[in-house]
């Protein structure tokens, strides 16, 4: 029988879609008490992968991803998604969102997004929140899955996530739990 061990802490990466890029910094300030300072920001790119958000948020949308300093336990992802949904509500005008906020977690092996929508490849976490393995890390890079959203399939995002992964590995090296006198393990 395998020994039950606590999971490794994970890195938070939040994706934003909005017309007003200043909202991204406002949201980052709101998330600061939970997630700490911003570690790394992607460049802002045009969000022209789908028209899914146009009716609600308009055209000429922008996309940015942000990684945060604090590592979290993976099971906090559901609470984080609930909080980001509340923040989206906070910025609504005339019942329409001005910003879409998608929290995800980076592990050494994959990138996982939180969602409120169930589907065959999603796993229920708690409180109405599901998890989706969006990318897997293999052979020194991220690999798309058949359900990976188009913007998460881009070389641009993969390169950003590789840079975040390097920071994450350094973060993990700083979290050393000593077991016994001579044995160190990273969790």
Question: In the chain, what are the domain boundaries?
Answer: 10-186
Span between the terminal Cα atoms of the chain, in Å: 20
Of residues 185 and 117, more confidence is placed in: 117
8-23 average pLDDT score: 97
The C-alpha atoms of residue 187 and residue 185 are separated, in whole angstroms, by 6
pLDDT band at residue 176, thresholds of 50, 70 and 90? low
What pTM was estimated for this model as a whole? Answer: 0.91
Architecture of domain 10-186: 2-Layer Sandwich (3.30)
Per-residue pLDDT reduced to its tens digit, 37-69? 999 999 999 999 999 999 999 999 999 999 999
Q: Residue 54 in 3-state DSSP?
A: helix
Q: Residue 42 in 3-state DSSP?
A: coil
Per-residue pLDDT reduced to its tens digit, 123-142? 999 999 999 999 999 999 99
DSSP code of residue 119? -
Percentage of the chain exceeding pLDDT 70: 94
């Amino acid at each position: 029988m395998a020994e039950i061990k606590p999971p490794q802490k994970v890195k938070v990466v939040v994706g934003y879609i909005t017309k007003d890029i200043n909202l991204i910094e406002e949201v980052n300030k709101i998330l600061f008490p939970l997630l700490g300072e911003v570690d790394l920001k992607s460049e802002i790119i045009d969000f022209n992968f789908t028209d899914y958000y146009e009716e609600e948020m308009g055209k000429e949308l922008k996309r940015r991803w942000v990684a945060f300093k604090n590592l979290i336990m993976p099971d906090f992802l559901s609470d984080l998604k609930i909080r980001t949904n509340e923040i989206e509500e906070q910025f609504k005008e005339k019942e329409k969102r001005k910003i879409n906020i998608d929290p995800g977690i980076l592990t050494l092996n994959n990138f996982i997004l939180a969602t409120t929508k169930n589907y065959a490849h999603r796993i229920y976490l708690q409180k109405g929140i599901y998890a989706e393995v969006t990318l897997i890390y293999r052979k020194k890079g991220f690999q798309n899955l058949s359900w990976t959203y188009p913007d998460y399939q881009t070389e641009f995002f993969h390169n950003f996530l590789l840079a975040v992964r390097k920071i994450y590995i350094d973060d993990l090296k700083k979290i050393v739990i000593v077991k016994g006198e001579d044995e160190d393990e990273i969790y």
